[in-house]
Amino acid sequence: MTATLPQTETQAESRELTYSEAIREALAEAMTADDRVFMLGEDVGVYGGAFGVSGDLVHRFGKERIRDTPISELGIVGAAVGAALAGMRPIVEIQFSDFTCQAMDQIVNQAAKIHFMLGGAVSVPMVLRTPLGSGTGAAAQHSQSLEAWFAHVPGLKVVMPSTVSEVKGLLLAAIDDPNPVVFLEHKLLYRTKGHVPAGADRVPLGRSVVRREGADLTIVATGIMVSRSLEAAARLADEGIEATVVDPVTLTPLDEAPILDAVRRTGRVMLVQEAPGHVGFMSEIAARIAGSSALYSLEAPIKRLCGLDAPMPYAPALEAAMVPQLDDIVVAGRALATQEA
Amino acid sequence: MTATLPQTETQAESRELTYSEAIREALAEAMTADDRVFMLGEDVGVYGGAFGVSGDLVHRFGKERIRDTPISELGIVGAAVGAALAGMRPIVEIQFSDFTCQAMDQIVNQAAKIHFMLGGAVSVPMVLRTPLGSGTGAAAQHSQSLEAWFAHVPGLKVVMPSTVSEVKGLLLAAIDDPNPVVFLEHKLLYRTKGHVPAGADRVPLGRSVVRREGADLTIVATGIMVSRSLEAAARLADEGIEATVVDPVTLTPLDEAPILDAVRRTGRVMLVQEAPGHVGFMSEIAARIAGSSALYSLEAPIKRLCGLDAPMPYAPALEAAMVPQLDDIVVAGRALATQEA
Amino acid sequence: MQTVVTEVQTRESDITAIAHQPPVQDGVPAAPSTDPATARAALGTMWRIRRFEEAVDDLFARGLMHGTMHLSIGQEASATGVCLALRERDAITSTHRGHGHCIAQGADLTRMMAELLAKETGYCRGRGGSMHIADVATGNLGANGIVGGGIPIAAGAALAYKMRGEDRVVASFFGDGATNEGAFHEGLNLAAIWDLPVVFVCENNKYGMSFSTEFSMAVPHVADRAAAYGMPGVTVDGNDLDAVHAVAAEAVDRARNGGGPTLIEAETYRWKGHSKSDKNLYRTREEIAEWRERDPIVAFETKVTESGLLTAADITAARDEATDAIKAAVREANSGTDADPGDLLDAVFAPVDAAPLASSPNQDVTR
Amino acid sequence: MQTVVTEVQTRESDITAIAHQPPVQDGVPAAPSTDPATARAALGTMWRIRRFEEAVDDLFARGLMHGTMHLSIGQEASATGVCLALRERDAITSTHRGHGHCIAQGADLTRMMAELLAKETGYCRGRGGSMHIADVATGNLGANGIVGGGIPIAAGAALAYKMRGEDRVVASFFGDGATNEGAFHEGLNLAAIWDLPVVFVCENNKYGMSFSTEFSMAVPHVADRAAAYGMPGVTVDGNDLDAVHAVAAEAVDRARNGGGPTLIEAETYRWKGHSKSDKNLYRTREEIAEWRERDPIVAFETKVTESGLLTAADITAARDEATDAIKAAVREANSGTDADPGDLLDAVFAPVDAAPLASSPNQDVTR
Ligand SMILES: Cc1ncc(C[n+]2csc(CCOP(=O)(O)OP(=O)(O)O)c2C)c(N)n1
Ligand SMILES: Cc1ncc(C[n+]2csc(CCOP(=O)(O)OP(=O)(O)O)c2C)c(N)n1
Ligand SMILES: [Mg+2]
Ligand SMILES: [Mg+2]
């Protein structure tokens, strides 16, 4: 594993932090260790970030390195690309992932392709951090989950950290990476708590994680749906249905083996994501399974449990109805596990 | 079927036209029949369009209705949204689909969502026409196939016309539609020829078309891959392998039944697209099959034959190696059809 | 589509009740402070905005409202002054901070409140909420959660009016922060080269979220940016209703008569934080206090009472009527049915078969 | 990453061979037409650009080259004049019409031609082609197929230099059409508010593809747009090498000394169509003929021979050397191996394990 920072501290030490704090710690450690690392984005300075992630970093690292920008997503992602080409390690925050739409040209036509287009002469080591997802009543222009778009773009690495304990190490690995990494943080995770190693241990990109083992059913879930699926799995276990839960973590490059293995062992699969189902990331997981010999292990059609194919509504009841909730996962899991083969 | 234009002429009359000419004819007929229809885009006027599609229309309909714009994709798509809200029927041309990246906010956050966000009080009847695909040596920023992105956005209809004979009727239907329609034209099709009905017959959106029937294998293909797959199927037929070829035509809303039916009949499936495979449109087709009872008919894993997960290179040999070619389809089809169940 | 048409018809009567434009004398519209009916109407509008947002603030604080909200308290004169300069059948595009624009255009307070309370009876059937609120019948093409999102849309609506030869105007509201977006540049350029009937109204409240205009741009005034588009740019005291109205009326008149767009910068201030999560770390208590002294409502009240145009009783009446109207709106809105998750999927696309478009009237989102 | 480092080292010697900057007297760089070495070098550069593109034109016409191409014939003085004002270790961003910029920065003609001929020996190993050509060792951050795409990238590179306290400057080339893109607005604004060492160079050749600047903007000059960013804007005869060099030198100097960015508009003309598919329907034969009369190379040659700085023999030598260099480049390039489809998938990501980044020197794309 490549490391920009020294890996001195032991993994033993760990503290309970929130997801936001863990991200902030990664940012601070990377900036302390490496002068090239800096952060830019709207209101990341004294405001502390729209979701409070940068917090007090501006007081610790100054306005140059925790750089407030005008409302110019295209411009600031472009500036990050340019800074990366000139030897820096920029981390750009886009306040809501919906606004990556403004910056798509720089993300997709520039950052993702420059290494390839220039025959490998340069690379674009930058991280684009942005919160996605619904659950805050922010409606259709502030609640999208666009991970499928990024995952479809060759040249971008795409990470969707679902746990507090890994988010720090994943972000450090993303900052190390010589390629552009899109780092997708779910809003509802920011305040969740977990144990975080004190050291600068990287969590390598590109590894799917089996979060739970069970013989009856495989659930593949991303982002906020990981903890929700684990909770559902616990409930199903009370009923005697044992589920394996796999979290891809990195969507591109995808580590498919743990998923296919789980399918082979369980024979039944449910794919859970918040984003609308049509041409979403879980379509790819289904395609990988159906495109491999794991197909022969399937005892039932692959169940996708996804967001509805609609924009995100404002009303709380509608917003909740749009995306898989705990009960939906339990009900669908039970149905799948008990379906006749 | 909704019709803006009178459907007087008989379907009998048809002439051989190119794909470009058929599109131009649809544009001209829609503008003749309905004052609200107009077209805007870069160089659509006296230049005749980057790919010559608008041709002489500016001389027939004037500069107001065939409106040259500055190089401002975001602005012109936004202007189309506004004009649509105010009662017009704009058709906006984006020179290369890669530049929709510049306009994504207006396409995705505005056009696609306004009808829903405003509780149905208004709709956004506009068509966004844009050429996609490789094959012209234009390299990574002028050769993308982004249909998967559009298909993933609730509120957009997405059409990928693959034949000269249907493109006119599909475009007329898209212009009729009260919703934003993304109309994706493959560059390599523009000069291909076919028979086009003289009348204003619509080809309804949302219908998959079975282009060929065969019992051994189902090929699902989009865009330029449809004709390539038909050619491959003809070659395979010479070897005694009979393929069904299904063309979804409209990616959203998707008409899945003809695809699932074909799979049930043939037991083997190959999905062919030009775009990179990872989280592409064909992933969705695979997921639909594996998520339905058609799964039980599968005699082999679903084969995806897609573009490589890389940016499009410039060198002709590399460009050709990036996307499925006729031989690739034949070879993969033969392997699939003869694979042990 | 049928819905829209019906909508326009039912709303017609209410809207004519709203005294919209001041009388025109010698081709110049009277200042609001010189015509009693206009002054009363304008004051009523400003109070309705203020009271509406105070109620929203309160409902949020008590956990009775969901999501997020952006209040324009302190900025009432710019919304009111600009919309007062518009005619019926003119349109606006609005922003995330859009309650004021919506009210100034004459929207129904109950349906607005119902929307924020996530009711089926709200303007957007609970699907939009505060950031997407719009009463299309009063020409509001929509609030917008995207900073700068409405600017090119305004140009497009104006293009439609111009192409059809209608003498209608679009006013496009946005903040100072929005002028740093590419959408601002592209939208203004299109309007300029096509001589479109748009008035671009920048409500410069000194901050885009936490970022001061001092740092976000390298020119003293947003209006200086008009030079890049060859259009007039004018800076006005956004807390002075008469002043806003005067520059808006001139710009609207020019737009209506083929003179093309104008960029107006109305200097104002938001008293409240950017949104609920704002800790106000980027500005001083003193600055806020100073601007609270420049309350646009108080300023106008002082002016019209000192001039003798309105009496103290008129002033009290305007305020009390607004207070009562908001109370009633909250009450009525609350009694509406909650938005229904049942048809989410049906609501994504407008139905193709519902009404053949050629035989329906133009979709036309104004009264 | 190792590749880059090696690259820089091997190229070093070649580059110092290129007479880059004119001598400085009393703090002011001499005009190219006053210093024989500079005049010779500049003329050589202009001829290399001209001959290179003529060769490309010919190769395309004969079907020996693939894809599309955008020629800058007629615009050689702006690329040459600006790059002449840069120092080693300064950088540029370039455009779809970028051969001239690349050559003016000192790129190797053979590797350029090899790229266009889709050879593994090309600057981009045949992956980029004309629209993405770049010699990073001479500070070229890349041609760009996206109109306006390089502008924010230039600001970002300049930010990096500024943050590291290096006195390096970025010149960002783009066309008149690009100034209508949001990227222009956002990139210039960032450079302005952060006082970045960038020189924005608009090569105004009167058309963005077919669309005349007369219609695409509502101001007479692109340079007028500088006013929106509080930066100096200057229009210069882009076919006058001395004039371009003078304004560029001043702007570069200001940028290097913390004075922030400048917008330069170099008025010029492309003799050829926009690309191969252009039928030139949007401009007149007369206009083209008129501008051909104003050939920037002829103008400079006339000036320096009339002043006696160079002899007719010098002039002929410069041209012939360029002709020979291009011929040699085509020949050598043709003998290179074709780009190899084998490693397409490996080439997408830079390898994570190849070299720990912390222990490698900064990626730094200039000589
Ligand atoms: C494209 C985009 N970027 C960022 C945001 C987040 N955001 C919402 S409002 C706002 C500040 C807007 O400032 P300004 O335009 O001055 O309007 P104000 O809030 O001051 O009324 C920001 C950054 C957004 N909604 N859209
Ligand atoms: C974002 C984007 N829009 C459109 C195009 C297509 N296109 C390529 S060059 C060009 C004209 C550019 O004009 P200008 O900036 O003046 O440069 P010039 O070609 O005149 O050198 C256009 C429209 C593009 N490449 N990128
Ligand atoms: Mg503001
Ligand atoms: Mg030009």
Question: Which pLDDT tens digit goes with each residue over C183-228?
Answer: 999 999 999 999 999 999 999 999 999 999 999 999 999 999 999 9
Q: Which residues contact D192 (CB under 8 A, 6 or more apart)?
A: C217, C218, D229, D230, D231, D260, D261
pLDDT at B341 > cutoff 80: no
Hey, which residues does A269 pair with through a beta bridge?
A: A218
Specify the DSSP class assigned to residue B142.
S
**Confidence (pLDDT) at C17:** 34
Instruction: Tell me what the mean pLDDT of segment A85-91 comes to.
Output: 97
Question: Which pLDDT tens digit goes with each residue over D57-95?
Answer: 999 999 999 998 999 999 999 999 999 999 999 999 999
pLDDT at A193 > cutoff 60: yes
What tokens appear for D77 in the block? 């003085």
Contact B278 A284 (CB under 8 A): yes
Q: What angle, 0 to 180 degrees and rounded to 10, lies between the N-to-C axes of helices D36-61 and D312-334? A: 40
CB B81 within 8 A of CB B108: no
Confidence of residue C363 (pLDDT cuts 50, 70, 90): low
In SS3 terms, chain C reads as: CHHHHHHHHHHHHHHHCCCCCCCEECCEECCHHHCHHHHHHHHHHHHHHHHHHHHHHHHHHCCCCCCCCCCCCCCHHHHHHHHHCCCCCCEEECCCCCHHHHHHCCCCHHHHHHHHCCECCCCCCCCCCHHHCCCCCECECCCCCCCCCHHHHHHHHHHHHHHCCCCCCEEEEEECHHHHCHHHHHHHHHHHHCCCCEEEEEEECCEECCEEHHHHCCCCCHHHHHHHHCCCEEEEECCCHHHHHHHHHHHHHHHHCCCCCEEEEEECCCCCCCCCCCCCCCCCHHHHHHHHHCCHHHHHHHHHHHCCCCCHHHHHHHHHHHHHHHHHHHHHHHCCCECCHHHCCCCCCCCCCCCCHHHCCCCCCEC
CB A168 within 8 A of CB A18: no
Burial class (CB in 10 A: 0-12, 13-18, 19+), B86: buried
Question: What is the Cα–Cα distance from B341 to B319, expressed in whole angstroms?
Answer: 34
- For a substitution probing ligand 1, which of C73, C209, C214 has the most ligand atoms within 8 Å of its CB? C209
Q: Which of D118, D181, D279 comes nearest B316 by C-beta?
A: D118
Specify the DSSP class assigned to residue D119.
B
pTM of the predicted protein model: 0.96
CB C79 within 8 A of CB C101: yes
Q: Does any CB of chain A come closer than 8 Å to the CB of residue B151?
A: yes
pLDDT at D325 > cutoff 70: yes
Instruction: Tell me what the mean pLDDT of segment C75-102 comes to.
Output: 98
Instruction: Tell me what the mean pLDDT of segment D98-115 comes to.
Output: 98
Nearest CA to ligand 2 atom 10: D209
Give the closest residue to D158 by CA, choosing from D200, D191, D193. Answer: D191
Distance set, CA B210 to CA A332, B184, B193, B259, B296 (Å): 33, 20, 20, 8, 21
- Shortest Cα–Cα distance, B120 to chain A (Å): 12
Q: Does any CB of chain C come closer than 8 Å to the CB of residue A47?
A: yes
**Confidence (pLDDT) at A12:** 56
* Percent of all residues in chain A with a pLDDT value above 90, rounded to a whole number: 94
Q: Which of C126, C128, C180 comes nearest A72 by C-beta?
A: C180
Burial class (CB in 10 A: 0-12, 13-18, 19+), A206: middle
Amino acid identity at B23:
I
Q: How far is the CA of C194 from the centre of ligand 2 (A)?
A: 20
Sheet holding B303-307, edge to edge: B209-212, B243-247, B217-221, B269-276, B303-307
Q: Best residue in D193, D195, D212, D221 to probe C by mutation, most C CBs within 10 Å?
A: D193
Confidence of residue D367 (pLDDT cuts 50, 70, 90): very low
Confidence of residue C362 (pLDDT cuts 50, 70, 90): low
Instruction: Tell me what the mean pLDDT of segment A304-333 comes to.
Output: 98
Give the closest residue to C132 by CA, choosing from C153, C121, C116. Answer: C116
Output the furthest CA–CA distance in chain C (Å, rounded).
60
CB C262 within 8 A of CB C199: yes
Question: Which pLDDT tens digit goes with each residue over D215-255?
Answer: 999 999 999 999 999 999 999 999 999 999 999 999 999 99
Token match 């594996």: residue? B290
Pairing, β B193-197 against β B14-18: antiparallel
**Confidence (pLDDT) at D364:** 63
Distance set, CA B120 to CA B109, B124, C332, C343 (Å): 16, 10, 22, 12
pLDDT at D111 > cutoff 70: yes
Contact C211 A98 (CB under 8 A): no
Q: How many CB atoms lie within 10 A of CB C120?
A: 16
Output the furthest CA–CA distance in chain B (Å, rounded).
62
Q: Does any CB of chain B come closer than 8 Å to the CB of residue C281?
A: no
**Confidence (pLDDT) at D20:** 60
pLDDT at D138 > cutoff 70: yes
**Confidence (pLDDT) at D365:** 55
For chains B and C, CB pairs below 8 A equal: 188
Contact C357 B2 (CB under 8 A): yes
Sheet holding B127-132, edge to edge: B66-68, B37-41, B89-93, B127-132, B181-186, B157-159, B250-252
Instruction: Tell me what the mean pLDDT of segment A67-88 comes to.
Output: 98
Question: What is the Cα–Cα distance from D87 to C307, expressed in whole angstroms?
Answer: 68
Instruction: Tell me what the mean pLDDT of segment D338-361 comes to.
Output: 75
* Percent of all residues in chain B with a pLDDT value above 70, rounded to a whole number: 96
Beta-carbon-side half-sphere exposure of residue B274 (alpha carbons within 13 Å): 28
Hey, which residues does C204 pair with through a beta bridge?
A: C267
Q: Which domains does chain B have, with CATH numbers?
A: 13-197 (3.40.50.970), 209-338 (3.40.50.920)
Question: What is the Cα–Cα distance from A235 to A241, expressed in whole angstroms?
Answer: 9
Amino acid identity at A288:
R
Contact C363 B77 (CB under 8 A): no
Q: Best residue in A46, A47, A143 to probe C by mutation, most C CBs within 10 Å?
A: A47
Q: Which domains does chain D have, with CATH numbers?
A: 7-331 (3.40.50.970)
What tokens appear for B286 in the block? 């695979």
**Confidence (pLDDT) at A136:** 95
**Confidence (pLDDT) at D11:** 32
Q: Which residues of D149-158 are buried (b: 16+ CB within 10 A; e: fewer)?
A: bbbbbbbbbb
CB B290 within 8 A of CB A301: yes
Q: How many CB atoms lie within 10 A of CB A192?
A: 15
Distance set, CA D210 to CA B45, B46, D258 (Å): 9, 8, 38
Confidence of residue B12 (pLDDT cuts 50, 70, 90): low
Question: What is the Cα–Cα distance from B150 to A278, expressed in whole angstroms?
Answer: 10
Q: Best residue in A69, A71, A93 to probe C by mutation, most C CBs within 10 Å?
A: A71
Residue B142 known to be catalytic:
yes
Confidence of residue D38 (pLDDT cuts 50, 70, 90): very high
Low-confidence winner among A60-69, C91-100, C344-353, D111-120 (lowest mean pLDDT): C344-353
- What's the whole-number average pLDDT of chain C? 91
Question: Which pLDDT tens digit goes with each residue over A165-177?
Answer: 999 999 999 999 9
Q: Does any CB of chain C come closer than 8 Å to the CB of residue B157?
A: yes
Q: Which residues of C279-290 are buried (b: 16+ CB within 10 A; e: fewer)?
A: eeebbeeeebee
Question: Which pLDDT tens digit goes with each residue over C249-290?
Answer: 999 999 999 999 999 999 999 999 999 889 899 999 999 999
**Confidence (pLDDT) at D362:** 53
Instruction: Tell me what the mean pLDDT of segment D314-318 comes to.
Output: 97
Instruction: Tell me what the mean pLDDT of segment A54-63 comes to.
Output: 98
Question: What is the Cα–Cα distance from A272 to A277, expressed in whole angstroms?
Answer: 9
Pairing, β C198-204 against β C207-208: unpaired
Q: How far is the CA of C175 from the centre of ligand 3 (A)?
A: 5
Confidence of residue C296 (pLDDT cuts 50, 70, 90): very high
pLDDT at A47 > cutoff 60: yes
- Shortest Cα–Cα distance, D137 to chain A (Å): 9
Q: How far is the CA of A94 from the centre of ligand 1 (A)?
A: 12
Nearest CA to ligand 1 atom 22: C209
Question: Which pLDDT tens digit goes with each residue over B187-218?
Answer: 999 999 999 999 889 999 999 999 999 999 99
- Shortest Cα–Cα distance, B313 to chain D (Å): 4
Give the closest residue to D138 by CA, choosing from D179, D86, D193. Answer: D86
Q: How far is the CA of D202 from the centre of ligand 4 (A)?
A: 9
pLDDT at C95 > cutoff 80: yes
Q: How many CB atoms lie within 10 A of CB C298?
A: 13
Amino acid identity at A268:
R
Confidence of residue C15 (pLDDT cuts 50, 70, 90): very low
Confidence of residue D23 (pLDDT cuts 50, 70, 90): confident
- Shortest Cα–Cα distance, C37 to chain A (Å): 38
Pairing, β C211-212 against β C207-208: antiparallel
Q: Residue B52, SS3?
A: coil
**Confidence (pLDDT) at C364:** 63
Confidence of residue B9 (pLDDT cuts 50, 70, 90): very low
CB A309 within 8 A of CB B154: yes
Question: Which pLDDT tens digit goes with each residue over D210-223?
Answer: 999 999 999 999 99
CB D185 within 8 A of CB D151: no
* Percent of all residues in chain D with a pLDDT value above 70, rounded to a whole number: 90
- C119 CB under 6 A from ligand 1? no
Instruction: Tell me what the mean pLDDT of segment A289-315 comes to.
Output: 98
Question: What is the Cα–Cα distance from C328 to C319, expressed in whole angstroms?
Answer: 14
Taking CA–CA distances from A50, the nearest residue in chain C reads C277
Low-confidence winner among A44-58, C83-97, D338-352 (lowest mean pLDDT): D338-352
pLDDT at C1 > cutoff 50: no
Q: How far is the CA of D179 from the centre of ligand 3 (A)?
A: 25
Give the end-to-end CA distance of chain B in Å, rounded to a whole number: 43
